[in-house]
Amino acid sequence: MGLTTAQFIKDYKAAALHLFADSLDNLSTLQQYQALAFVVKGYYAKDWVQTKANNEKHHRKQVYYFSIEFMPGRLLGSNLLNLGIKATVEAGLERLALDPVTLYAAEGDPGLGNGGLGRLASAFLDAMASVGMAGHGNGIRYQYGLFQQRFVDGYQVELPDDWLRDPYVWETRKENRAVIVKYGGQVELRPRANGSLQAIYHGAEDVLAVPYDTAMVGYRTGCVNTLRLWAAEPVPGRAHNLAEKARVNAITQILYPDDSDNDGRELRLRQEYFFVSAGVQSIVTHFKRTHADLHLLPQFIAIHINDTHPAMAVLELMRILLDEEEMTWEEAWRLTVATMSYTNHTLMTEALETWPESMFAGLLPRLYQIAQEIDHRFRAAHVQQYGELLVDRSAPIANGQLRMAYLAVIGSHAVNGVAKLHTELLEQSVLHDFYTLYPARFNNKTNGITPRRWVQLADPALATLIDATLGPGWRRDPRALQDLRAHADDPAFLAALNAAKLANKGRLAAVIQQQLGLYVDPSAMFDVQIKRLHAYKRQLLHVFGLLDSYRALKAGEDRPARVHVFGAKAAPSYRYAKSVIKLINAVADLVNHDPAVNQKLQVAFLPNYGVSLAEAIIPAADVSEQISLAGTEASGTSNMKLMATGAITLATLDGANIEIQAVAGAENMVTFGLTATEATRMQSAHTYNARAVYEADPRLRAVVDMLTDGSIPGIASEGREIRTELLDYNDTYFVLEDFAAYLAANRKLDALWADPDRWAQAALANIAASGQFSADFTVQRYGREVWHVLPEQPIGD
């Protein structure tokens, strides 16, 4: 947009006056940020209205991405970037003697998700707007996001994330678009004259769902889509006592941490139905206002089920088409399956959602009837050809449980995993029966990231260098980064690349100093592992590797200086994960205070990992640890972000690591360890003996023994717990098995580090290849193959 600095300054001063009745320099930093956000909102408001009007006028197919989590990150910087006015606004701020970085940092970071799944949902919204695709988010406006993490004595402590304490400037409450969501009661089915059945509800509980819309601004497309998050409120004008009000408000009060316990399961079910019902209702209502014939629904609407949490969208759409639109079952089912598509995000069987039939029937009686009918028809349709056994294994209702992943597959026309290996494993194991029944539904969609946030915004040093080398074309089409390869033998470029990285490491060192009071040397190798704390991700293997270095250094061996940077939250009830957190902090205490090693080895565990902290860590990483047991990490996305800013990946052949290796080149990455096939074979043949591995390797014995021999102070019970898991429970995730290979891989990294030019070449190869992991391409593949929409403006133009 054609904004001048002078115009911006005028608008900004006016906003300060309008919002806070004061001049800019009298406002608090928070108010200055709010006024700025208000101005920016004004700059895209017309485009937002226009995008909606165009969509309606041209009857463009709309994609609705249903997700129980979204993690958009801070929006001020990305909105300015995407509108193409960042430089103008920053020049204006400078003229007003305001520091842009301080203002950006005043924005809160809505943590409405746990990790990869929620961040991916937000990356997709950014990407859809940036390729000009009409794609919107539908989710929950939690009053409290994922807990804030602190460390007290090395232990994780969870504090509530009261992110709405300051008003969230980007959202707009749309009370005129509120809908009613019904829970419980009894359903009576009364025959209508036309033979269909009318559902009459007795004693149901009504809850008002109020939408809050946030604009998703495309990168220089003029396309502005919507993230719609629903808040639960009592229906106005109805008598409510305090207890009833509290019950209603509870629905959207807190985000569930992806926990292993079963507490509060019913509330979670209420949450899921809440945003699904509100979303589907509002889609159908809007569709009927703008289209004559509901039978055309799949031609104009795609609903995407992001993991199983919104799987009951299948049931809710059926309910509306049957009960409210009086369609036949066959017609309603045809439209529903054609509208829905589903992504699976994990192979962890304990994470595949099921609901007890009794709970489901009590809370959602009409949906339960519909699920029973689907179950009945599914069994009847397939039993002849495939037999009782397969049908019973794969039916949506069995053993007193509703199986949401199965329901999602049966009710969708397309099902995908999030990396090649993951999709193959779905087809071969977790969803194998469905692959037999509906092979054509299965497809792979490898995840993606938004290089706008991770490179352009978070790594301006690198972005400037690339601009100077290639011009700005890569900013719109990151495949152009491939052209960097031509500079692989240009010593000046390699030196500049290393210098940019060093500058970023200096910035992270300042954060570490400020947060942990720890001085780290920016010239050391920064070895980063940032992701949720889970046994399968094997942060423990990383700890064992660094304990081995600790021992080697103590014994007088020389190793290049390394700073091990961790960021990870553990689910509050996940004991083992919390013990690993305590272990990492205890090891940090030990090595950071040991003058015999701390010139060469340091550990920085930064608390409260989230989108904003990731923006500080990722550009400063030299090494990206992606060391899950092969066959357990569906895709991973920090692997893609870290390669995009030039980190060298240290990885098992798991998830998207395999695809990263394919494009970056095996010589520019270090891989090690069991393959998924080998791990599965050992698991099913029961040939793994963790204790024997431990006994056979003196270096391994030494680090495992450190857990319990008092050499790491303060971990008596945690050390014992972890040792028990490894040796008595036979090491579920093969940490001991992969240990020797992991050490060898690390020595390869050390050797590479010794040659800064060669290191920079490997970094360059990763940056150059990272473009293909832009989520822009991922959503275009979904658009072509799953949602059947074509973006208005293909990127690259």
DSSP state of 720: H
Q: 600 catalytic, yes or no? A: no
Alpha-carbon distances of 377 from 37, 382, 409, 559, rounded to whole Å: 52, 9, 15, 65
The whole-angstrom separation of Cα 612 and Cα 105 is 9
Q: Is 349 in the site for ligand 26V (CB under 6 A)?
A: no
In the bound state with ligand 26V, the residue whose beta carbon lies nearer, of 346 and 774, is 346
List strand residue ranges (DSSP E) for 192-346, in order.
Answer: 197-202, 205-217, 224-233, 301-306, 340-343
Distance of CA 465 to the CA centre of its chain: 29
Q: Is 538 in the site for ligand 26V (CB under 6 A)?
A: no
Among 107, 258, 433, 615, binds ligand 26V (CB under 6 A): 258
Residue type at 649 in one-letter notation? T
Q: Is 156 in the site for ligand 26V (CB under 6 A)?
A: no
Q: 532 catalytic, yes or no? A: yes
Segment holding 620, helix H or strand E: none
Structure tokens at 467: 């601009």
The whole-angstrom separation of Cα 595 and Cα 578 is 28
Total site size for ligand 26V, rule CB under 6 A: 20
Nearest to 321 by CA among 411, 228, 230: 411
Q: 452 catalytic, yes or no? A: no
The whole-angstrom separation of Cα 134 and Cα 166 is 30
Q: What radius of gyration do the chain's Cα atoms show?
A: 27
Q: Is 643 in the site for ligand 26V (CB under 6 A)?
A: no
Residue 482: count other Cβ atoms within 10 Å of its Cβ.
Answer: 17
In the bound state with ligand 26V, the residue whose beta carbon lies nearer, of 209 and 571, is 571
Q: 641 catalytic, yes or no? A: yes
In the bound state with ligand 26V, the residue whose beta carbon lies nearer, of 475 and 532, is 532
Q: Which residue is nearest to ligand 26V (CB)?
A: 116
Query: Considering the complex, what minimum distance in angstroms separates the CB of residue 725 from ligand 26V?
Result: 15
**Exposure on the CB side of residue 487, measured as CA atoms within 13 A:** 21
The whole-angstrom separation of Cα 545 and Cα 344 is 32
Q: 531 catalytic, yes or no? A: yes
Query: Considering the complex, what minimum distance in angstroms separates the CB of residue 534 from ligand 26V?
Result: 6
DSSP notation for 649-703: EEE-S-TTHHHHHHHH-GGGSEE-S--HHHHHHHHHHT---HHHHHHH-HHHHHH
Segment interacting with ligand 26V, rule: CB under 6 A, options 138-146, 186-194, 635-643, 684-692: 635-643
In the bound state with ligand 26V, the residue whose beta carbon lies nearer, of 107 and 272, is 272
Q: Is 482 in the site for ligand 26V (CB under 6 A)?
A: no
The whole-angstrom separation of Cα 701 and Cα 708 is 11
Query: Considering the complex, what minimum distance in angstroms separates the CB of residue 575 from ligand 26V?
Result: 12
In the bound state with ligand 26V, the residue whose beta carbon lies nearer, of 452 and 537, is 537
Among 465, 634, 722, 743, binds ligand 26V (CB under 6 A): 634
Structure tokens at 72: 């958009």
Among 307, 433, 459, 718, binds ligand 26V (CB under 6 A): 307
Q: Is 346 in the site for ligand 26V (CB under 6 A)?
A: yes
Q: Say which residues have a Cβ less than 8 Å from residue 51's Cβ, sequence separation at least 6.
A: 134, 222, 223, 224, 225
Question: How many residues are given for the chain?
Answer: 797
Q: Is 641 in the site for ligand 26V (CB under 6 A)?
A: no
β-pairing, 354-356 with 401-403? Answer: antiparallel
Q: 346 catalytic, yes or no? A: no
By the 8 A CB rule, do 529 and 614 touch?
A: no
In the bound state with ligand 26V, the residue whose beta carbon lies nearer, of 259 and 467, is 259
**Exposure on the CB side of residue 527, measured as CA atoms within 13 A:** 24
The whole-angstrom separation of Cα 731 and Cα 362 is 41
Segment interacting with ligand 26V, rule: CB under 6 A, options 88-96, 110-118, 405-413, 432-440: 110-118
Segment holding 787, helix H or strand E: none
In the bound state with ligand 26V, the residue whose beta carbon lies nearer, of 51 and 122, is 122
Indicate the Cα dihedral angle 249, 254, 260, 265, nearest 10°. Answer: 10
In the bound state with ligand 26V, the residue whose beta carbon lies nearer, of 447 and 602, is 447
Query: Considering the complex, what minimum distance in angstroms separates the CB of residue 610 from ligand 26V?
Result: 14
Among 82, 504, 579, 635, binds ligand 26V (CB under 6 A): 635
Given the residues 452, 537, 559, 562, select the one marked as catalytic. Answer: 537
Q: Is 115 in the site for ligand 26V (CB under 6 A)?
A: yes
Hunting for tokens 């009837």 — which residue is that?
A: 369
Given the residues 41, 74, 452, 641, select the one marked as catalytic. Answer: 641
Query: Considering the complex, what minimum distance in angstroms separates the CB of residue 373 from ligand 26V?
Result: 29
By the 8 A CB rule, do 409 and 442 touch?
A: no
Segment interacting with ligand 26V, rule: CB under 6 A, options 10-18, 343-351, 423-431, 601-609: 343-351
Which SS3 state, helix, strand or coil, does residue 717 take? Answer: helix
Among 47, 213, 323, 633, binds ligand 26V (CB under 6 A): 633
Segment interacting with ligand 26V, rule: CB under 6 A, options 114-122, 206-214, 246-254, 619-627: 114-122
Strand partners, 403: 354
Segment interacting with ligand 26V, rule: CB under 6 A, options 155-163, 276-284, 344-352, 462-470: 344-352
Q: Is 732 in the site for ligand 26V (CB under 6 A)?
A: no
In the bound state with ligand 26V, the residue whose beta carbon lies nearer, of 121 and 178, is 121
Given the residues 74, 86, 445, 531, select the one marked as catalytic. Answer: 531
Q: Is 535 in the site for ligand 26V (CB under 6 A)?
A: no
Strand partners, 215: 226
The whole-angstrom separation of Cα 673 and Cα 691 is 18
Q: Is 450 in the site for ligand 26V (CB under 6 A)?
A: no
Q: Is 351 in the site for ligand 26V (CB under 6 A)?
A: yes
Which of the residues 651 through 710 are near ligand 26V (CB under 6 A)? 655
Given the residues 86, 228, 345, 582, select the one marked as catalytic. Answer: 345
In the bound state with ligand 26V, the residue whose beta carbon lies nearer, of 348 and 359, is 348
In the bound state with ligand 26V, the residue whose beta carbon lies nearer, of 694 and 773, is 773
By the 8 A CB rule, do 603 and 592 touch?
A: yes
Note the residues at the interface with ligand 26V (CB under 6 A): 115-117, 120, 258, 260, 307, 345-346, 348, 350-351, 418, 447, 633-637, 655
- List residues with catalytic annotation: 345, 531-532, 537, 637, 641
